[in-house]
Amino acid sequence: MILAALLVLGAAGPAQAEERQLLFYNHAWGTFDRATADAVEHSAYIKQFADFEVRTTTGADGKKWTGRYLRGRETYLELYGIGDVGGSDGELGSAGLGMSTEHDRDLDAVKTRLRAAGQTPIDFTQTRDFGDGKPVPWFDAVFLVERYEKFGAWGMEYRDEYLADPRSKVGPARFPGDVSRERYLPDEYQNRLMRDITLIHVAVTAADLAPTVPLLRAGGFAVFADQTGVVAVGGGTTMRFDEVPKGRTGLKRVEFALNRSTPPHVERLGTSTLVVGPGKRAVWTF
């Protein structure tokens, strides 16, 4: 199984990153058992730890999902319980990864790199309905597969229509073509412990890992193969993908940088454990 990943990489060592990084970790999501999802949703500590929101969103084609969001300065985490999103995404062990651009039209450059590598990008535009029945273009996305088993990764770029809509509550542009993660996310993280996500660890099938690697490379991440899977490094977040059989997939671990040092605290949330501190680091295992 690992051999397949090595063949995708083209070598057993590190894959060379492109000259400029175009994609950056934006958010990861995972679907967990109901006890864990409910514990996160109703935890008083989580509301102190992170800028936290439970939101039901209506996207393209009327698709709805209910997520629990922990938001930092540039990165965030999205948690579902079984059935909180439709189809196979709402099944236990499903997960996903969104990587976004910081500059307008960088997604076009990602697609150019993908085509040069022999890949065929699949375009998609996500919308968001703020409740008036008039969907607003939210972000453009690129995938490499139309269907995945339990894990899907995509590149994305926020749309000007969304960033300009006052209901999106995003900040002003700091430079021409600013579609950055920091602009998109609110500044409430400053009043919480969580600053940003520094590592995610996901267990994926070989079939789902195969299209993820070329997308990482086109985004400009340095990609390494090891005995358990693949590691991607770049932009302040490390992403580990362990290759596993079906039945063992899912988001397994998230590490955080904190805004300030804090004494140690252990918060058990359903079947997961969040260990905060000591110092300016936290680790959540699922």
Work out the average pLDDT over 195-222. 98
pLDDT band at residue 90 using 50, 70 and 90 as cut-offs: very high
pLDDT band at residue 19 using 50, 70 and 90 as cut-offs: confident
pLDDT at 98: 98
Q: Report whether pLDDT(71) > 60.
A: yes
pLDDT at 217: 98
Q: Report whether pLDDT(4) > 70.
A: no
pLDDT band at residue 3 using 50, 70 and 90 as cut-offs: very low
pLDDT at 1: 46
In the structure encoding, which two tokens stand for residue 43, read together?
Answer: 């935890």
Average pLDDT of the residues of the chain: 94
Structural domain spans, the chain: 2-285
The whole-model pTM stands at 0.93
pLDDT at 14: 45
pLDDT at 10: 43
Number of other residues whose CB lies within 10 A of the CB of residue 27: 24
Work out the average pLDDT over 170-197. 98
Q: Report whether pLDDT(197) > 70.
A: yes
pLDDT at 106: 98
Cβ atoms of 81 and 32 closer than 8 Å: yes
pLDDT at 12: 38
